[in-house]
């Protein structure tokens, strides 16, 4: 009797072991667990490699421990602010969003600063022109953190500018996710020789999980940028998807400290240099604006999905309107229920998504989840003037968030994200108006048009949606 096993039989036994591991060892979302079990059982061999690439959970314990150490650094700020939020309750304009501010303070240590001036960008050319001008004016340090840095004309212009500033004696630190860093070491040689420093986040590029999806910049601790733009010519509208509609904000004021703190944590995780929390990086120069800002981080190093929970609070606090833009809409039940409840309560809820896919699987899943909400009164639109990559939400034209987090499960649970929440009629109104200005370039997805879609589209949606909870 032979006990020899084939490779496929060995892989199948390994997959059975993984199934039991997922069920009994890892505290996963139940929907995600069921999806992975189906993949492992129905796709022998292939399922094993898919799990290694998308589903493994090997580094979470270390990430949690690092997060716990850094959280202690801002506990004093949180304690001081707990008793100082009452003044916002006195202003009826912001009163309904006070619970959002308090929740983000308690769950994410997202301290509030109220002296900020914001600049909203919806066009990549204007955003990068502003960033490059700020870099040229830098006198002490430049901290940049991006998910993707392409090897193209825009990145070369940026690296050349950073090299010049490093030669001037400015401290320059460049952080990119290992999966998204496309510039080869040769392209950074001159930058390094000039004194510039760079690091890559989470170099295990064989997995798509735990990617640093954040996009932020801090100049001299006084000017900061956060939003959806990576570094590449497609973000200037020069890629295959055409015009690129995105969103970012420039922050001037003490709110920059929130971006700086986020950079410090990520740099100290990824780099061999342990950057000291020197006051020179956190100047106490009060801003001249009046916009309250909280910068919120989330990721697999956190117990809860804080950005998602912030989205939910904004949706349920709205009395008049909720407008959101996202390239990927694969929500969990909390987001879906919040949007449906708001729409059924008479709130004007509108969602804008792309008309074309950069990731077909995600695109068809997005349409499927949009379809679920139409009967409740949610209105949805496809952006027809190129590709929309903005990750924004604005409630009542007052409270809003701009950052890197999409409305999908990957952003909520598996990627490292950062978004700035702000509470202001002027800037919230600008973001709402930007949404309204996009409507003439859109096609509305009506209940009738969705029901009349072809069988082929229905099949693609169903297949894509089946695997959307993987993670």
Quick one: which of 200, 133, 189, 130 has its CA closest to 156?
A: 189
One of 57, 389, 408, 424 is an active-site residue; which one?
A: 389
127 is catalytic: no
Which residues have CB under 8 Å from 80's CB, separation 6+?
none
Q: What three-state secondary structure class fits 343?
A: helix
Question: Which letter does DSSP use for residue 191 in this model?
Answer: H
Q: What is the phi-psi region of residue 219: left when phi exceeds 0, alpha when psi lies from -120 to 50, beta otherwise?
A: beta
Distance between CA atoms of residues 129 and 154, nearest Å: 11
Give the helix/strand (H/E) hosting 21: helix 7-24
Give 34: exposed, middle or buried? Use CB within 10 Å, 0-12, 13-18, 19+: middle
**140 has catalytic annotation:** no
91 is catalytic: no
Q: How far apart are the first and last CA of the chain?
A: 41
Out of 165, 198, 308, 391, pick the active-site residue.
Answer: 391
- Of residues 220, 266, 408, 438, which has the active-site annotation? 220
Q: Active site includes 389?
A: yes
Q: How far apart are CA 374 and CA 177, in angstroms?
A: 37
Q: What is the C-alpha separation between 410 and 416, in angstroms, rounded?
A: 9
Backbone dihedral angles phi then psi of residue 425, each to the nearest 5 degrees: -65, -40
Please report which helix (H) or strand (E) contains residue 198, including its range: strand 197-201
Which residue in 174, 169, 173 sits closest to 139, CA to CA?
169
Annotated active-site residue 143? The verdict is no
Annotated catalytic, 220?
yes
d(CA 167, CA 158): 14
Half-sphere exposure of 415 (CA within 13 A, CB side): 25
Catalytic residue among 127, 143, 198, 213: 213
Q: List the catalytic residue out of 177, 246, 301, 396.
A: 396
Query: What tokens appear for 446 in the block?
Result: 């009506």
Q: List the alpha helices (DSSP H) in 271-332.
A: 306-317
Asked if 142 and 135 touch (Cβ cutoff 8 Å), the reply is yes
Are 278 and 385 in contact by the 8 Å Cβ rule? The answer is no
Q: Which of 127, 141, 215, 308 is catalytic?
A: 215
Q: Which residues are part of the catalytic machinery?
A: 213, 215, 220, 389, 391, 396
């Amino acid at each position: 009797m032979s006990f020899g096993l084939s490779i496929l039989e060995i892989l199948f036994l390994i997959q059975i072991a993984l199934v039991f591991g997922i069920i009994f060892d890892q505290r996963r979302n139940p929907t995600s667990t069921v999806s992975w079990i189906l993949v492992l059982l129905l796709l022998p061999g292939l399922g094993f490699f898919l799990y290694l690439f998308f589903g493994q959970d090997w580094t979470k314990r270390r990430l949690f421990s690092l997060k716990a150490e850094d959280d202690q650094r801002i506990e004093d700020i949180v304690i001081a602010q707990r008793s100082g939020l009452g003044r916002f309750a006195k202003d009826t304009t912001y009163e309904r969003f006070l619970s959002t501010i308090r929740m983000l303070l308690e769950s994410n240590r997202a301290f509030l600063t109220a002296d900020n001036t914001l600049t909203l960008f919806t066009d990549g050319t204007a955003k990068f022109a502003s960033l490059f001008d700020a870099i040229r004016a830098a006198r002490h340090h430049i901290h940049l953190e991006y998910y993707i840095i392409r090897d193209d004309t825009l990145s070369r212009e940026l690296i050349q500018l950073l090299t010049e500033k490093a030669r001037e004696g400015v401290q320059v630190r460049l952080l990119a996710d290992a999966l998204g860093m496309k510039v080869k070491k040769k392209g950074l040689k001159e930058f390094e020789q000039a004194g510039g420093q760079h690091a890559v986040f989470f170099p295990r590029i064989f997995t798509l999980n735990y990617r640093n999806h954040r996009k932020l910049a801090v100049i001299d601790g006084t000017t900061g940028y956060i939003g959806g733009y990576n570094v590449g010519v497609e973000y200037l509208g020069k890629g295959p998807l055409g015009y690129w509609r995105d969103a970012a904000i420039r922050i001037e004021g003490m709110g920059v400290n929130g971006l700086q703190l986020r950079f410090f944590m990520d740099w100290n995780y990824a780099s061999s240099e342990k950057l000291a929390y020197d006051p020179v990086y956190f100047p106490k120069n009060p801003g001249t604006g009046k916009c309250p800002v909280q910068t919120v981080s989330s990721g697999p190093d956190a117990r809860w999905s804080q950005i998602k929970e912030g989205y939910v609070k904004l949706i349920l606090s709205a009395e008049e309107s909720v407008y959101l833009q996202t390239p990927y809409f694969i929500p969990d039940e909390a987001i879906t229920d919040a949007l449906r409840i708001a729409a059924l309560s008479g709130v004007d809820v509108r969602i804008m998504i792309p008309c074309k896919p950069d990731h077909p699987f995600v695109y068809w899943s997005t349409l499927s989840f949009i379809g679920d909400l139409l009967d409740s009164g949610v209105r949805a639109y496809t952006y027809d003037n190129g590709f929309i990559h903005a990750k924004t939400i604005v409630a009542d034209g007052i409270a809003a968030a701009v950052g890197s987090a999409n409305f999908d499960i990957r952003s909520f649970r598996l990627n490292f994200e950062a978004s700035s929440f702000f509470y202001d009629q002027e800037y919230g109104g600008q973001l709402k108006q930007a949404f309204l200005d996009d409507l003439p370039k859109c096609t509305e997805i009506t209940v009738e048009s969705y029901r009349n879609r072809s069988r082929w589209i229905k099949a693609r949606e169903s297949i894509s949606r089946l695997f959307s909870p993987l993670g």
